[in-house]
Amino acid sequence: MVLNGTLKEFILADVFNLLTQQRITGRLDLASGKREAMIVFKEGFIVGGADGEESLANKLFNYLIDIKRKTSEQLSPIFSANTDDLSALSSALLERNLLTAAELKGFAGSCIEDICCSLLTWNEGTYRFNSVGSVSTIACGVVTISAENIIMEGMRRVDEWARMRDYITEDMVFAPAPNSVGSDIPPGEIDIAAAPEEYVFGLLDGNNTVKSIKKSCCLCEYKVYESLNFLLQAQRITAVQQHYSESIRAALARKEAEVASVLRTTHIGSLVAAGVAAAFVIFFVFCRLVLLPKLDPGTYDRAVVEQRLRSEASQSDAVHGASLLYRTVNGGDGKDEEALKRAGLLTDRDLLGKADIYGRIF
Amino acid sequence: MTGRIRAFVLLTAVAALVFVTPTAARASQFLSAEIEAALSKRDDFLKKLDVPTGKLPFIEQWLQKNAGDGGFKGRLEALRGGSPWYRYANGVISEGDGRERFFGEAVKTAAADPGTLWLLALEFIRGGHTQYADECFDALEMYILAVGGSSAPLLSQQLILFGNTIAASDSAAAEYCYTASKRFDKNQCWWLYRKGAVGFPDNTGNMLAAFPDFIAEALGLLATSWRAQTALIYWAYRFFAATLFIFVCALFAVFIVKYLPRGVHPIGDTLFVGASPNIRTAASVVILLAMLMAGVVPTLWLIAFLICRFMNASEKKLLILACAILTLSPLGFFADSFLSRGIRPDSPAVLLERSIREGYSVGLYNLVRTNLTKRPGNHATELALAICATKSENYGANSDAVNKALDLAPDDPLALLYAGNHAFLTNDISGMKQYYGTALKNNPGSAEAKFNLAQAYANDVDFTASDMISEAAKINASLVGGHMRVNARYFQDDVPPLRRIIQPALTPLYFWSRLFMADPAEMIRFNESKTYFGLSPIAAFGASVVSMLVFLGLYSAMWKHDSKIRKYFSCRICGRLLCRKCRKGTICSVCYKKSIDSHNNAATMYNLQKAYQDKATLRRDFTRFVLGIVIPGAGTLYKGEALFKPAITVLITSAVFAACYCAITFHSYFPSAAVVDPIYCIPVLLLYNIAAFFKQCFGLAKTMKNRAKMSIKSK
């Protein structure tokens, strides 16, 4: 089955309802401008989802690094080997005891719920559903969420999120408040399902913007905003003052500019480099063909060398002997080199010492 | 020494032997003028018979074809007279006894004209009348001996070439020519080779059977001919020099492939700041390699300077060795000219030998005189002039020249013997006794001096000349016996003056002791006009030494200290060389861009790094594979795990390439058609590379297989 349309005509919640009623299995792809997302349905239930870089695999990787304190060297081979198969990745993580089944289920459920709820905020864009036989590679296989629950939770979050965005923006920088007490829970024991704000609090060092925290942490966007909101309400954190955040913004702008300059100069600079290299080559070829023969014609000028060798060869005993025999047997003057060659009396080596030309110039 | 190296050395020795002998077997102009004159006479005669001389047909066939023509008979009768060609033509158109009579008369009539004898001999060979060709050759040999010569290399060369032209149609006649060619020049072994090659490739067995004889003949020649010995040393030097140069180039090739992208980093930093790292490196390498157009050696110097700091200690030792060879390379001119001067056509030794072995010819006499103006104090050239003058019966000039030679080298055995010969020819008995006596006093084992001295006492009743001749025969039976047998065969009682005495030969011992080291300053004079990258060889050598010193000075000043070397580091993702000037971080701009795209995700970074590592490993394997094929041994050298053994393999490879180079650039004074063309040796030499190609293919396949297995295991 293929279903498609625009979100203006048919909101996402309605699409969810329709697919749930049909108890269908497949993949719902969403697109709005440059953003792309997808939700995985299995028999009418939501079992997976991703919103751009916010995917279960990425968040799981960050979770294992930040919370479970695993090393990237330990994890990278597993994640790279199972890039295209989420259920295989889950199995591999469980097999290697990197996390328990309960932890996986809890984290994956929370992650997919956050991703799907965030998609309900999309007001425009297109959707396209393709039914498939098996979704094992795009779903972790341990999560089953009712679409109704997602719709209800999503609707709740839509209003709240809009309110939070009024005073928490992407480029803001937060730092622990001067009188706040830090978390006494060790990083490995933080329950991010129960207390995500403790985890987010640990990430605030006065340098990272909301955007960078969002990218590098294991929580989804909504949970980051929600945690920041909670911490602000509890006065445990404070926004860095305007002039400080301006300097940070300036630093970020410089970084962006550097990135842009790297990309821009690469193309122009490469062209210039090719041009300069060609100019050098032309210069040296000119030296080789024009200047050096004038400097030392005896060695460099092929024509001079060839003429000299031909002159030497014409006086050589080999040529004289061959010419004499040709006159003896065939008559004529025996001076036609081609005739001598045809008669098998001489070769180019005798006439020119051609090979020696290379030797002398070399 | 392993079997492989021993086989290689043996092959090289045989190749060298084959290469050098043609240089030794040089033809001359002796009898050339006589043949030219005879050709004119023959063409005149044939023209009068209406034979088309512009494109000459086979004369015998043409005469037989026109024998029945009345006009032809009339024209032939009109030419009746003493011309050998008239008798030859009559012999061709006659049958039975008439033919034998006319042919015999033709040879007898031409006895005093070596050129016509020669032309008749060739016509007899073409017509299958080899007994008359033998008669012609006997008469020719007699003429050569009578004028004081012992060989005529020109005739020998002509016979080999003539044999080549008729080998396809008449193999028996060709074999006859090759055998006869030895008669006129015993200092060449190509008659045997050509004889073996008759009918090749249909008759391969014949060639294989002749090959051992050919090698034996060549070795015999090498033992007795100073010219063959000098040529062997000269070509061995050329081979050695080419091997060293190719070895240096091979080392540089490996180091360039391995280190040049790093070495040119400062150029990229200076000229191409805005370019991507790959383009920056490529453009810098192109600029550096473009300098090759201005000269190989200066470019190698610069490359050595740029890359040496990235090498390990063992590689640096090899680089220093290569640089030392480069420094010495301008001196190669001197070594080359020093070794080749003995066998150059205008060298005193060659002129002296030609004057001894050949009869008088105007060309040789003029060449000696011209040479004497260039080398006024050279006793060998004076002696050559004296011998030429003697053979032309110009005893006045002989006397002056031989006295000058004796002034320059009073104890020279050849000069003494030829002074004695001059005294003999001018009936100066006391002079004979003086010069031959001194020669005998200096060298009591000289059979020539004893034999010739005996001639001084021929009319002296107090002494028995025959006793002295017997003593001479005891000293060197083959020389004295051979001389007397030849005299008896050709001259009986009417021995010409120049044959009554033995003409002393130029032996290898005389050459090496008296001529080889003579006049070393000639080497400088000879190289005055030669240039090495626009400089004289000495100036080029000085420049090379200065370059080496500057290179060492700059190296110790700029890059000796570790702190300065540490300015460079590798990108932590792809391993590309970076410096603080081109990047501030620890990753290069390409990886930086990709890491931005990946949002700093560790898994993506890991994949990126792994992809680069895999690509780099593949690139290294492929480079090693290609280097291993092109320069066997260079692949292992590139790997860098061991250096000594691969360096030796590269040296052997260089020797193979040098042998190819020598084969390509080789040319002799003998026409190529008469000798083995060494260019045919190249496929044989390159078998070494073909074996290396298969070895590399197997090696690469094995590496790939092992890697695939490991990859499956890790999954």
- Band of pLDDT at residue B535, cut at 50, 70 and 90: low
Q: B504 with B448: CB under 8 angstroms?
A: yes
Same domain as A123, residue A45: yes
* Least confidently predicted of A122-136, B553-567, B598-612, B690-704: B553-567
Instruction: With a cut of 70, say whether residue B566 has pLDDT above it.
Output: no
Same domain as A262, residue A228: no
Instruction: With a cut of 90, say whether residue B125 has pLDDT above it.
Output: yes
> Which of the residues A64, A79, A349 would you substitute to probe the B interface, choosing the one with the greatest number of B C-beta atoms within 10 Å?
A349
- Band of pLDDT at residue B38, cut at 50, 70 and 90: very high
Using an 8 Å CB-CB cutoff, list chain B residues near A288: 293-294
Instruction: With a cut of 90, say whether residue B119 has pLDDT above it.
Output: yes
Instruction: With a cut of 60, say whether residue B22 has pLDDT above it.
Output: no
> Is any Cβ of chain A less than 8 angstroms from the Cβ of B291?
yes
Using an 8 Å CB-CB cutoff, list chain A residues near B358: none
Nearest-Cα residue of chain A relative to residue B162: A325
Instruction: With a cut of 90, say whether residue B124 has pLDDT above it.
Output: yes
> Which of the residues B156, B529, B596, B665 would you substitute to probe the A interface, choosing the one with the greatest number of A C-beta atoms within 10 Å?
B665
What is the CA B277 to chain-centroid distance, rounded? 50
How many domains is chain A built from? 4
Angle between helix B395-408 and helix B379-391 axes, rounded to 10 deg: 160
**A50 conformational bin, left if phi > 0, alpha if psi -120 to 50, beta if neither:** beta
Tell me the ipTM for this assembly.
0.74
Distance CA B537, CA B529 (A): 10
> Which of the residues B62, B116, B126, B601 would you substitute to probe the A interface, choosing the one with the greatest number of A C-beta atoms within 10 Å?
B601
- Residue reference for tokens 């004695």: B420
Instruction: With a cut of 80, say whether residue B246 has pLDDT above it.
Output: yes
DSSP, res A48: E
Is there a contact between A273 and B669 if contact means CB atoms under 8 Å apart? no
- The pLDDT value recorded for residue A302 is 57
Domain hosting A284: range is 244-294
Same domain as A129, residue A25: yes
Task: Please give the average per-residue pLDDT across B222-251, as a whole number.
Answer: 87
Same domain as A126, residue A267: no
Nearest by Cα to A128 from A200, A27, A45:
A27
- The pLDDT value recorded for residue B9 is 52
What is the CA B30 to chain-centroid distance, rounded? 23
Same domain as A118, residue A192: no
- The pLDDT value recorded for residue B582 is 66
- Band of pLDDT at residue B526, cut at 50, 70 and 90: low
Same domain as A193, residue A321: no
Fold of the CATH domain B344-525: 1.25.40
Nearest by Cα to B248 from B650, B630, B689, B540:
B650
Give alpha helix (H) positions in B291-361: 296-307, 313-328, 332-340, 348-357
Tokens of B162: 């003539």
Domain edge (last residue) among A294, A315, A336: A294
- Band of pLDDT at residue B122, cut at 50, 70 and 90: very high
Q: Pick B439 or A74 by higher pLDDT.
A: B439
Distance CA A268, CA B276 (A): 9
Task: Please give the average per-residue pLDDT across B706-710, as a whole number.
Answer: 75
- Band of pLDDT at residue B657, cut at 50, 70 and 90: confident
Instruction: With a cut of 90, say whether residue B137 has pLDDT above it.
Output: yes
* Least confidently predicted of B95-99, B496-500, B676-680: B676-680
> Is any Cβ of chain A less than 8 angstroms from the Cβ of B521?
no
Is there a contact between A76 and B602 if contact means CB atoms under 8 Å apart? yes
Q: Pick B14 or A207 by higher pLDDT.
A: A207
Per-residue pLDDT tens for B318-362? 888 898 888 888 777 778 778 877 777 778 888 888 888 888 888
Same domain as A132, residue A54: yes
Domain boundary assignment for chain B: 25-207, 234-333+535-709, 344-525
Q: Pick B536 or B438 by higher pLDDT.
A: B438
List the single residue in B284, B599, B671 with the smallest CB-CB distance to A318: B671
- Band of pLDDT at residue B658, cut at 50, 70 and 90: confident
- The pLDDT value recorded for residue B243 is 92
Same domain as A135, residue A12: yes
> Is any Cβ of chain A less than 8 angstroms from the Cβ of B395?
no
List the single residue in B290, B596, B599 with the smallest CB-CB distance to A280: B290
Helix (H) or strand (E) holding B116: helix B114-127
Distance CA B507, CA B278 (A): 66
- The pLDDT value recorded for residue B105 is 92
- The pLDDT value recorded for residue A358 is 35
The alpha-carbon gap from B449 to the nearest alpha carbon of chain A, in Å, equals 34
- Band of pLDDT at residue B123, cut at 50, 70 and 90: very high
The alpha-carbon gap from B417 to the nearest alpha carbon of chain A, in Å, equals 31
Q: How many Cβ atoms sit within 10 Å of the Cβ of residue B699?
A: 16
- Band of pLDDT at residue B136, cut at 50, 70 and 90: very high
Residue A278 domain-assigned (yes or no): yes
Nearest-Cα residue of chain A relative to residue B116: A328
Among B residues 636-675, those touching chain A with beta carbons less than 8 Å apart: 661, 664-673
DSSP, res B674: G
Instruction: With a cut of 70, say whether residue B2 has pLDDT above it.
Output: no
Distance CA B612, CA B589 (A): 14
Domain edge (last residue) among A196, A213, A240: A240
Instruction: With a cut of 50, say whether residue B675 has pLDDT above it.
Output: yes
* Least confidently predicted of B225-229, B356-360, B537-541: B537-541
- The pLDDT value recorded for residue B211 is 77
Domain edge (last residue) among A129, A160, A191: A160
Instruction: With a cut of 60, say whether residue B154 has pLDDT above it.
Output: yes
Instruction: With a cut of 90, say whether residue B80 has pLDDT above it.
Output: no
Q: How far apart are the first and last CA of chain A?
A: 74
The alpha-carbon gap from B698 to the nearest alpha carbon of chain A, in Å, equals 30
Among B residues 126-165, those touching chain A with beta carbons less than 8 Å apart: 154, 157-158, 161-162, 164-165
Using an 8 Å CB-CB cutoff, list chain B residues near A276: 271-272, 283, 287
- Band of pLDDT at residue B461, cut at 50, 70 and 90: low
Instruction: With a cut of 50, say whether residue B401 has pLDDT above it.
Output: yes
Q: How many CA atoms, within 13 angstroms, populate the side-chain half-sphere of residue B525?
A: 7
Give alpha helix (H) positions in B375-476: 379-391, 395-408, 413-425, 429-442, 447-456, 465-475
> Which of the residues A74, A268, A316 would you substitute to probe the B interface, choosing the one with the greatest number of B C-beta atoms within 10 Å?
A316
Nearest by Cα to B630 from B688, B702, B703:
B688
Instruction: With a cut of 70, say whether residue B439 has pLDDT above it.
Output: yes
Instruction: With a cut of 50, say whether residue B63 has pLDDT above it.
Output: yes
Residue A102 domain-assigned (yes or no): yes
- The pLDDT value recorded for residue A39 is 92
Distances, alpha carbon A145 to alpha carbons A114, A196, A322, B68, in Å: 12, 21, 101, 123
Distance CA A248, CA A210 (A): 12
Q: What is the interface size between A and B, counted as CB pairs within 8 Å? A: 204
Residue A165 domain-assigned (yes or no): no
Same domain as A199, residue A216: yes
Tokens of B633: 């041994």
Residue A343 domain-assigned (yes or no): yes
Report residues of chain A scoring pLDDT below 70: 1, 180-188, 241-249, 252, 258-266, 292-317, 349, 351-362
Among B residues 532-561, those touching chain A with beta carbons less than 8 Å apart: 533-534
Q: How far apart are the first and last CA of chain B?
A: 47
Is there a contact between B164 and A344 if contact means CB atoms under 8 Å apart? yes
Same domain as A100, residue A9: yes
List the single residue in A61, A265, A327 with the smallest CB-CB distance to B39: A327
